[in-house]
C-alpha cells in the first residue's frame, strides 16, 4: 500500500485543514536545512529530527505572540521583584495556579520581603501556608530567606547558579526566577515544558527516563529565545498548562500546531510516552481525640519528618493484625505517654498525598492515666476549640475536625496533589 504523506496542519482522514490551523510555513519547510552544529532530537520513527534556524525563529515568534495576547492574569506576572517571583515559583510546585493565587497574596501581605520571612517563627510560616500542602516547601522557603539575609545581604541572587545554592531551590526554580526577574537566558524545564517538547518533536523515550530528560533539556536550551527568556519560559509553561494539556489538548488553539510532529500524525495524546504506573500504596492510621475539660490534646511532628512542625491528633499507623482500637491505645502510650480507652469511633477520612493514600480512623478516647508529654513527638499542647485555627494543621487532620464539628467545612479547592 502506498503511504500518503500528510502535511502538518492537515487531517490524515480527510486531508482538510484542522480547525485553528494557520497558513504559516509547515514543519517540513522549516526543517529542511540544518544550521551548522545543530543538535537533534530522537523521534518515534527512528529518524533524527533536526532543529533549523528557520524553525527556531518561527517557533519563538508564534509562541511569544500567542503568550502576550492570551496569558492569564496572575499576580506574579505583574512584578519583576525576584523575591515575589521566588515565592510564586515555590508555591507553584505541584499546585495549580488558580489555587495558588489567594495563598500567594496572603503570604506576601504577611511576609513582604526576605527579612520578614526569615525572622518569623516557623510555626507562623506554616500557619500562613496551611491548606496549600507540601509543607516542606514553606520550611525551605524560610531557609532560603535566611540564606538571602546571611549570605547575600538581603538581595535575591541574580544568577541561576547562585539561586540554586539556596535551600530548596532546584534547577527549575532557579531558572524560572533568573529568567523572569533578571532576564538570564536559561531554560526552564518542568512537566508542562516536557509535554510540549515531547509532542512537538515526538520524543519516544518514556516519562521519567534519563533519555527523555536529556533530550528535553537540550531542546529547551535550543528553542529558548535569548532576547526574551522570561516571557518565553512563561509562554512554554502557559502553553502546557492551558492548551497542550495531558488529556484532550486544545490543538485547534495552539500557536505552534503546524510545527508539531505529534499533531501532524494525529498522535497528540500518545505523547509524552507514559511511564509504567505503579499502584499507589494505602496506609491505615488511627488517631485519638483526648479531652481535658474543654481542651483537646494535639501533638507536634518532628521538624525532620514529613509534615515537619505541623500539629495533629496523636496516633499512628495500624500494624498488621492490629485493630484500629488497639492501634490508637498503643500509639497514645508510645507518643504522648497516656493510657487511654478508645470509647467511640467518630469518623473515617481519606486523604491522598503525592505517593500514598491515608485512611484515617478517629476515636474519642477516655483518659485513664498519665500526664501528656512528648515521648514520640516534638511537643504536646492542650488546645481549646477556638484556638485550633492558630495552629498549623495537616489537611487530613483538618478533615477530622470538620467531620466532628470542631471546624467549619471549607469550600473545596482544586489542587494537583493535596498535602
pLDDT in tens, 397-406: 999 999 999 9
Q: Is residue 408 assigned to a domain?
A: no
- Same-domain pairing of 166 and 247: yes
Cell 480512623: give the residue.
361
Q: Give the pLDDT mean for 129-158.
A: 95
Position 45 confidence tier, pLDDT thresholds 50, 70, 90: very low
Q: Is residue 393 assigned to a domain?
A: yes
Q: Give the pLDDT mean for 230-258.
A: 97
The answer to which of 49-53, 246-250, 297-301, 334-338 has the lowest mean pLDDT is 49-53
For the chain, what is the domain count?
A: 2
Q: Is residue 120 assigned to a domain?
A: yes
Q: Is pLDDT larger for residue 274 or for residue 297? A: 297
pLDDT on residue 411: 57
Largest interatomic CA distance in the chain: 85
Position 408 confidence tier, pLDDT thresholds 50, 70, 90: confident
Give the burial string for 207-232 (b: 16+ CB within 10 Å, else e). beeeebeebbbbbbebbbbeebbbbb
Q: Give the pLDDT mean for 198-221.
A: 95
Q: Give the pLDDT mean for 411-416.
A: 46
pLDDT exceeds 60 at position 266: yes
- Same-domain pairing of 244 and 317: no
- Same-domain pairing of 201 and 306: no
Residue 220 sits in a domain whose CATH number is 1.10.340.30
Q: Is pLDDT larger for residue 136 or for residue 116? A: 116
Domain holding 382, by residue range, is 282-403
pLDDT exceeds 50 at position 38: no
Going through 197-260 in order, the beta strands assigned E by DSSP cover none
- Same-domain pairing of 199 and 311: no
pLDDT digits 0-9 by tens, 286-305? 999 999 999 999 999 998 88
Closest CA to 86 of 153, 187, 180, 191: 180
- Same-domain pairing of 84 and 224: yes
Q: Give the pLDDT mean for 131-147.
A: 93
Q: Is residue 330 assigned to a domain?
A: yes
Domain closes at, from 240, 270, 300: 270
Identified catalytic residue from 54, 58, 89, 371: 89
- Same-domain pairing of 256 and 297: no
Q: Is residue 316 assigned to a domain?
A: yes
pLDDT digits 0-9 by tens, 342-368? 999 999 999 988 788 999 999 999 999
- Name the region of 37 (left: φ>0; alpha: ψ -120 to 50; beta: rest): left
Across all residues in the chain, what is the average pLDDT?
87
- Whole-angstrom Cα distance, residue 229 to residue 158? 14
Position 10 confidence tier, pLDDT thresholds 50, 70, 90: very low
Residue 295 sits in a domain whose CATH number is 3.90.79.10
Does the annotation count 121 as an active-site position?
Answer: no
- Same-domain pairing of 301 and 263: no
pLDDT on residue 69: 97
- Same-domain pairing of 343 and 258: no
Q: Is pLDDT larger for residue 22 or for residue 90? A: 90
- Same-domain pairing of 310 and 394: yes
Closest CA to 273 of 48, 59, 51, 43: 43
pLDDT on residue 108: 98
What are all long-range contacts of 115-122, with beta carbons under 8 Å and residues at least 24 apart? Answer: 115/145, 115/149, 115/154, 117/141, 117/142, 117/145, 118/142, 118/145, 118/146, 118/148, 118/149, 122/303, 122/309
Position 225 confidence tier, pLDDT thresholds 50, 70, 90: very high
- Same-domain pairing of 260 and 158: yes
- Whole-angstrom Cα distance, residue 229 to residue 240? 17
- Same-domain pairing of 256 and 302: no
- Is residue 85 within 8 A of residue 76, CB to CB? The reply is yes
User: What percent of the chain has pLDDT above 90?
Assistant: 76
- Same-domain pairing of 227 and 292: no
Q: Is pLDDT larger for residue 355 or for residue 70? A: 70
pLDDT on residue 410: 62
Cell 529565545: give the residue.
225
pLDDT on residue 306: 87
Amino acid at each position: 500500500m502506498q503511504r500518503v504523506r500528510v502535511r502538518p496542519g492537515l487531517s490524515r482522514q480527510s486531508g482538510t485543514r484542522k480547525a485553528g490551523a494557520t497558513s504559516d510555513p509547515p514543519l517540513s519547510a522549516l526543517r529542511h536545512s540544518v544550521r551548522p552544529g545543530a543538535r537533534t532530537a530522537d523521534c518515534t520513527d527512528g529518524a533524527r529530527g533536526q532543529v533549523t534556524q528557520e524553525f527556531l525563529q518561527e517557533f519563538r515568534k508564534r509562541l511569544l505572540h500567542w503568550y502576550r495576547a492570551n496569558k492569564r492574569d496572575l499576580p506574579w506576572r505583574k512584578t519583576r521583584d525576584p523575591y515575589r517571583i521566588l515565592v510564586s515559583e515555590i508555591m507553584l510546585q505541584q499546585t495549580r495556579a488558580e489555587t495558588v493565587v489567594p495563598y500567594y497574596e496572603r503570604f506576601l501581605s504577611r511576609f513582604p520581603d526576605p527579612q520578614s520571612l526569615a525572622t518569623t517563627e516557623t510555626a507562623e510560616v506554616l500557619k500562613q501556608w496551611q491548606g496549600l500542602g507540601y509543607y516542606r516547601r514553606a520550611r525551605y522557603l524560610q531557609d532560603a530567606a535566611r540564606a538571602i539575609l546571611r549570605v547575600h545581604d538581603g538581595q535575591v541572587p541574580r544568577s541561576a547558579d547562585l539561586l540554586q545554592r539556596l535551600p530548596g531551590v532546584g534547577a527549575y526554580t532557579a531558572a524560572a526566577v533568573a529568567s523572569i526577574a533578571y532576564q538570564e537566558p536559561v531554560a526552564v524545564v518542568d512537566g508542562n515544558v516536557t509535554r510540549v517538547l515531547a509532542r512537538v518533536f515526538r520524543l519516544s523515550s518514556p516519562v521519567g527516563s534519563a533519555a527523555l530528560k536529556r533530550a528535553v533539556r537540550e531542546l529547551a536550551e535550543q528553542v529558548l529565545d535569548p532576547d526574551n527568556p522570561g516571557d518565553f519560559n512563561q509562554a512554554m509553561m502557559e502553553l502546557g498548562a492551558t492548551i497542550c494539556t495531558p488529556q484532550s489538548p486544545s490543538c485547534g488553539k495552539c500557536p505552534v500546531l503546524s510545527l508539531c510532529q505529534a499533531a501532524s500524525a494525529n498522535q497528540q495524546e500518545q505523547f509524552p510516552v507514559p511511564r509504567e504506573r505503579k499502584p499507589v500504596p494505602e496506609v491505615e492510621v488511627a488517631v485519638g481525640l483526648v479531652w481535658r475539660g474543654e481542651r483537646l490534646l494535639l501533638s507536634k511532628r518532628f521538624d525532620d519528618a514529613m509534615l515537619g512542625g505541623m500539629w495533629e491528633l496523636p496516633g499512628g499507623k495500624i500494624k498488621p493484625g492490629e485493630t484500629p482500637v488497639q492501634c490508637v491505645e498503643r500509639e497514645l502510650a508510645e507518643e504522648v505517654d497516656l493510657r487511654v480507652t478508645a470509647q467511640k469511633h467518630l469518623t473515617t477520612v481519606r486523604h491522598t498525598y503525592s505517593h500514598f493514600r491515608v485512611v484515617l480512623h478517629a476515636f474519642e478516647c477516655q483518659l485513664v492515666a498519665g500526664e501528656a508529654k512528648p515521648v514520640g513527638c516534638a511537643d504536646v499542647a492542650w488546645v481549646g476549640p477556638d484556638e485550633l485555627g492558630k495552629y498549623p494543621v495537616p489537611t487530613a487532620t483538618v478533615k477530622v475536625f470538620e467531620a466532628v464539628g470542631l471546624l467549619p467545612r471549607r469550600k473545596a479547592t482544586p489542587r494537583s496533589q493535596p498535602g
